[in-house]
Structure 1
């Protein structure tokens, strides 16, 4: 391993980890942005409901539930609200401590998505899609005294998928897909004195390949279950200096159920999702300029695996309107270690939405979620004298709009 590769190893990982302060969508830096219908029910049952083509992003086997070509396209807006309170920073120029409260380190971002499912016959279907699993932006300006812990973080990813499904019989269907993932990140941290950059990584990007598999079991026309697993790769990327960096992403597994109550207009659905955040442990990286070390930023994270528990309901009001609601409890990726740049916590999702059927083959979906985090006490230190203590909280508002059509 060359010196440059070693010094920049895991830089993009660090960029992506720290960006969680701006997204607050799910524990860690996961971004649920596959569909407006999912937002409207807190993604409860999303690996098996199959009310539009976006289901292929959660479970490729669910493509077998369609007998017509299906197209869904839309976007999600994400507004994160990050508060730092009761905060004190101590450093070389602030030996007695300086207030480091900050009202809003969050941002608003837009995540588009598109999904297409094409049945070939009563056994086979294939599909393509594009959406994001991870990404956000956050920025602490110069008024934040603890700028060595804050700064600018801008990370985004795009997932381009190709998948196929096979119906074995009336009950069992199977699916698999390939994911081509593009990631890009910028991260800047500044030292308290001089000032000089501790980190100045700008536009590091790269590609990686992952895969996903799934199955659907249909008990009858009103009851079905789905299970899916997504392998996320370790991404290699290069910054503008041509130096190699790596980004491990978490694997995910999901179990979902859907049950329409017979002789009623109501259905209940639920999901349990596992996210392998234990991948993220120690992060070590350096900032170089012309092969000269200009700053360092080493930090352990020691994240833990996360879980989503979601339950929701759908009410088929009439031929024009479908109403939905959901609740999710989302566990934190952080364990004993906390960080002002990653104000992570257990979170609750309160969601609602609807579908309006324009005609028998097309509809519009709208979804809304208010995401509530918890206060988290943070203590950070850096040699020789720097330290930060405070309380962080991350809430968010999600809004999704989507158009779907059958052909």
Structure 2
């Protein structure tokens, strides 16, 4: 196989890992949102609505700022009938920050800023594991900076528009034997980045006493990742390459109820347009390469609640069922995606406008086989721990 074709395979891995960003861990909102499974689109009293549904904060009466960090530990085991070849992925804790600001302008107009990472992926396998020619490292960061403006149309209806600048970076590693003498291997590392743009629109409607609905649309974001492929010994070289990537559009639909004393409940449905990832289109010095992926659009179901325990404390809990977009044919070590479930709990404390929130979530996924396009038999099993802490101030 020619060197240019090896470049194509490496950039193909880059594209696959970027769409592995569909491996979303629900840490993009905030600690208060994570503790309620993100089922808050119908709410109107949470700072992190600056991301989930900015329209809900139209006419806010206080300036507010919130910042924090979530930490994720992903544990994936790969079992295979190949003797002495079972492997466990590195389970280091990874940090994901978030920042939100709400600035009332008039009784009708509110400005907001959201800085978060709704897409991201880190998987790291040992350099000598049996699947090293498929992937050893996949590290993607996609940070959204989203200013929004919301307008209260009537006492019941509010609308908003936002624009997102998306900064994406990826680093991926694997091992190749192509073009090398029998028994020899060389490491290959792919890095790429780009800046893309998107928009969002949302609405919030009070439909009856204690009942409200919310909806939010986030557009696709097109990225043209400019990449470099570096090869270790005995190849010792680097070449330019690139790949197009489209992050999917999403639609959130939520219902909230506050008719029970001290209790706020929410249910959200989230649709994600992962069918944008129907193929890989790669541009290399050796020409273009196209490979089918055939991902599908998926739904996520979220339910959560918050109970006010006196004036200063709030207790939270939630549940998520999340459908995987990955077909059986194309499941890979950088994204061993299967249907997932999550349970979470959290708490918040506030005094004189100062607040602290904490949350914990546990994710478990269905077992899934290696994609049938790869000549490597085996099964993946994934669990994830999430811990999040936020600080906030309203004045």
TM-score band (shorter)? 0.7 to 0.9
- Tell me the equivalent position of 2:185: 195
Report Cα offsets for 1:68-91 as digits up to 9, x if no partner.
Answer: 111111111111111101353xxx
Q: Given the superposition, is the C-alpha separation of residues 10 and 363 from structure 1 closer, same or farther in structure 2, using an over 3 Å criterion?
A: farther
Which residue of 79, 86, 93 maps to 1:85?
79
Report Cα offsets for 1:47-71 as digits up to 9, x if no partner.
Answer: 2324332111111212215211111
**Is residue 2:393 matched to residue 1:405?**
yes
Which residue of 48, 55, 67 maps to 2:49?
55
Report Cα offsets for 1:146-200 as digits up to 9, x if no partner.
Answer: 2112211111111111110010011100001000000000112212542135x53
Does structure 1 retain, via aligned residues, the 8 Å contact 2:29–2:38? no
Q: Given the superposition, is the C-alpha separation of residues 347 and 138 from structure 1 closer, same or farther in structure 2, using an over 3 Å criterion?
A: same
- Tell me the equivalent position of 1:246: 244
The alpha-carbon deviation at position 379 of structure 1 amounts to 4.2
Q: Given the superposition, is the C-alpha separation of residues 248 and 355 from structure 1 closer, same or farther in structure 2, using an over 3 Å criterion?
A: same
Aligned residue pairs, count: 376
Which residue of 353, 378, 381 maps to 1:390?
378
The alpha-carbon deviation at position 389 of structure 1 amounts to 0.8
SS at match of 1:133: strand
The alpha-carbon deviation at position 331 of structure 1 amounts to 0.5
Does structure 2 retain, via aligned residues, the 8 Å contact 1:13–1:247? no
Q: CA RMSD in A?
A: 2.8
**Is residue 2:300 matched to residue 1:308?**
yes
Unmatched runs of 5 consecutive residues or more in structure 1: 89-97
- Tell me the equivalent position of 2:140: 155
The alpha-carbon deviation at position 326 of structure 1 amounts to 0.5
Does structure 2 retain, via aligned residues, the 8 Å contact 1:19–1:29? no
Which residue of 165, 170, 173 maps to 1:185?
170
SS at match of 1:389: coil
Q: Distance in 2 between matches of 1:379 and 1:9?
A: 20
Question: Map of 1:370-385 to 2, 5 A cutoff?
Answer: 370-381=362-373
- Tell me the equivalent position of 1:267: 264
TM-score normalised by structure 1 residue count: 0.85
Does structure 2 retain, via aligned residues, the 8 Å contact 1:41–1:325? yes
**Is residue 2:74 matched to residue 1:74?**
no
TM-score normalised by structure 2 residue count: 0.87
SS at match of 2:88: coil
Q: Distance in 2 between matches of 1:58 and 1:281?
A: 27
Q: Given the superposition, is the C-alpha separation of residues 340 and 245 from structure 1 closer, same or farther in structure 2, using an over 3 Å criterion?
A: closer
SS at match of 1:17: helix
Q: Given the superposition, is the C-alpha separation of residues 276 and 11 from structure 1 closer, same or farther in structure 2, using an over 3 Å criterion?
A: farther
- Tell me the equivalent position of 1:346: 339
**Is residue 2:122 matched to residue 1:122?**
no
SS at match of 2:328: coil
Q: Given the superposition, is the C-alpha separation of residues 360 and 9 from structure 1 closer, same or farther in structure 2, using an over 3 Å criterion?
A: farther
SS at match of 1:56: helix
Once the two structures are overlaid, the 10-residue window that deviates more, 173-182 or 338-347, is 338-347
Report Cα offsets for 1:221-257 as digits up to 9, x if no partner.
Answer: 6221100000021111212466543211010000111
SS at match of 1:337: helix
SS at match of 2:16: helix
SS at match of 2:370: strand
Q: Given the superposition, is the C-alpha separation of residues 213 and 338 from structure 1 closer, same or farther in structure 2, using an over 3 Å criterion?
A: same
Q: Given the superposition, is the C-alpha separation of residues 339 and 154 from structure 1 closer, same or farther in structure 2, using an over 3 Å criterion?
A: same
Q: Distance in 2 between matches of 1:5 and 1:356?
A: 57
Report Cα offsets for 1:12-38 as digits up to 9, x if no partner.
Answer: 6742533677x8xxxx33342220011
Does structure 2 retain, via aligned residues, the 8 Å contact 1:16–1:29? no
Q: Distance in 2 between matches of 1:388 and 1:147?
A: 11
Q: Distance in 2 between matches of 1:9 and 1:322?
A: 52
The alpha-carbon deviation at position 335 of structure 1 amounts to 2.5
- Tell me the equivalent position of 1:237: 225
- Tell me the equivalent position of 1:215: 203
Q: Given the superposition, is the C-alpha separation of residues 321 and 105 from structure 1 closer, same or farther in structure 2, using an over 3 Å criterion?
A: same
- Tell me the equivalent position of 1:137: 122
- Tell me the equivalent position of 1:108: 93
Q: Given the superposition, is the C-alpha separation of residues 39 and 135 from structure 1 closer, same or farther in structure 2, using an over 3 Å criterion?
A: same
